[in-house]
Amino acid sequence: MYERYAGLIFDMDGTILDTEPTHRKAWDDVLGRYGLRYDLQAMIALNGSPTWRIAQSIIELNQADFDPHLLANEKTALVKSMLLDTVRPLPLLEVVKEWHGRRPMSVGTGSESVLAESLLNHLGVRHYFDAVVAADHVKHHKPAPDTFLLCAERMGVEPSRCVVFEDADFGIQAAKSAGMDAVDVRLL
């Protein structure tokens, strides 16, 4: 099915790893400390964005005076401590295993690299990927194409010969902007 592609790129959160419930719990805990609220639908619309961008949206919604990077760091620290015990692979990881060694593969995620590397190593799946490109590796995040373009570069594959597996609208848009085909895993 994916034979025509020279490189496969996978989003991480919600695509190959079931991290979303833990991310939500961490946001609930951190925001609860400050009496802040968030709009779940608005947060879902930001899936694939770096944590600081989500924090900025929450701060704006609450008309609060917080540093989005500090709030994001607090949430990331909490989620990291929680995820290693709660995260599970999603069924799409079987596609990764099936294509391992047959095509270069990478992860392009909106999570920070320390979190992505920790999770992938903890689950014993990091070795499947030639590269992991995270939020702190690029200046322009999804929906900009930079994450996926850097994945292609690190795999040594032309962007037009890559397919991206994504679960978020921002990620689908980023793949298309990069000149790549995209598989919306929500439709699988």
pLDDT, tens digit, 9 for 90 and up, residues 35-77: 999 988 888 888 777 888 899 999 999 999 999 999 999 998 8
Q: Which of 11, 13, 146, 167 is catalytic?
A: 11
Query: pLDDT tens across 79-127, in order?
Result: 888 877 888 899 999 999 999 999 999 999 998 898 899 899 989 999 9
Q: How many residues in the chain?
A: 188
- State residue 132's pLDDT score: 98
Q: Compute the half-sphere exposure of residue 173: CA atoms within 13 Å on the CB side of its CA.
A: 12
Measured distance CA(177)–CA(188) in Å, rounded: 22
Give 140-161 pLDDT, tens digit per residue.
Answer: 989 999 999 999 999 999 999 9
Q: What is the pTM of this model?
A: 0.87
Domains located in the chain, CATH noted: 7-18+88-187 (3.40.50.1000), 20-86 (1.10.150.240)
Task: Please confirm, yes or no, whether 11 is among the known catalytic residues.
Answer: yes
Looking at residue 181, its pLDDT comes to 98
